[in-house]
Amino acid sequence: MSKLLWNKGLSYIPIPLGQKGPTTLGWNRPENCITAQEDALKLKNKNVGIALAYCEPVVACFDIDDGRLTKRAFEHNHLNLLDILKSSGAVFASGRSNSLKALYTLPDNIGPLVTKQHKNENTTIYELRCASKNGLTAQDVIPPSIHPSGSQYTWLQGGLDSIKPMPECLLEHWLKLLEGEKSSAISTNETLTLPNDYIPTFEAETPQRVALLRDQLHYINPDCHYTLWRDVIWGVLSTGYESATGIAMEWSLKAPHRWNEEKFISIVSGWSPDRYGPTHGTIYHYARLGGWNG
């Protein structure tokens, strides 16, 4: 565990030794991830994954399954794969030939991006990985974990202490892939599956509903990781209350040592009523986890 960093905003996931992914139910929920050094024993004699979307700042993994085909695909998009990899401070290998992974941070004003794969027929060539469509984290096994083949994941360049921002060209490429996916879904008239707690219309603002919202927020600790903070703020804004921004700020300021006005404004500006994401139901869920039983 000495090679892991603590108190640097990173979030970890225990994985059975020799496996690539966790097997515990709910592993991708924030409350099941490990962020404090006093919990490091939970990672002893295990592989370790990094909970990408729950890190602060958010971390993403550029996972290259086939280097030759990825290089060709990037050239088709006028991108230089080798230049992109050299610009990263954290590149590691799993021991499989022709495969690499690179870790980058994502800008605060973008936050976790939905994972996107690029395939050749049914084979994944590369993947840009961070979060699932329902807002939970994806993960990546990191050194010195053991690959199922028996080889060890090893750092080729940098490490957890040298993760740099994602190159702008790669970030733009990811955003274009996601935009293309959205356009495709619209053009083919696919039915979107919404979260169970999605509320399609605003609630009428009443003193009783505002009091209920404030009571629920009382059970959610604002001294939390960025993703949860953002989701709670967006959940408050989803109510449509005129007082929503003030309520979200009031809740956030209960953790004054974490308060960042610039980030708060960025989160508020990034919310849209057309966004399928956190709602009042999200606040209900986390309030329940915190002990609210109203």
Read off the pLDDT of residues 70-95 as tens digits, 9 standing for 90 and up: 999 899 888 899 888 887 778 887 66
Mean of per-residue pLDDT scores for the chain: 83
pLDDT over 70 (residue 30)? yes
Q: How many residues does the chain have?
A: 294
Mean pLDDT value of segment 106-125: 85
pLDDT at 91: 86
pLDDT over 50 (residue 201)? no
pLDDT over 80 (residue 249)? yes
pLDDT at 215: 93
pLDDT band at 252 (very low <50, low <70, confident <90, very high): very high
Question: What share of residues in the chain are helix, strand, coil (percent, to 5)?
Answer: 35, 20, 45
Tokens of residue 13, six digits: 């996931």
Mean pLDDT value of segment 251-277: 82
φ/ψ of 153, rounded to 5, equals -65, 130
pLDDT over 50 (residue 183)? no
pLDDT band at 186 (very low <50, low <70, confident <90, very high): very low
pLDDT at 187: 34
Name the residue with higher pLDDT: 183 or 248.
Answer: 248
pLDDT band at 216 (very low <50, low <70, confident <90, very high): very high
Read off the pTM.
0.64
pLDDT at 273: 67
pLDDT band at 274 (very low <50, low <70, confident <90, very high): low
Tokens of residue 140, six digits: 């990546």
Q: DSSP 3-state assignment of 178?
A: helix
pLDDT at 228: 86
Q: Which residues lie closer than 8 Å to 62 by C-beta, 6 or more apart? A: 84, 88, 101, 102, 103, 104, 126, 127, 128, 129, 166, 170
Mean pLDDT value of segment 211-238: 90
Instruction: State CA 245 to chain mean position distance.
Output: 24
pLDDT at 191: 34
Pair 12, 49: CB distance under 8 Å: yes
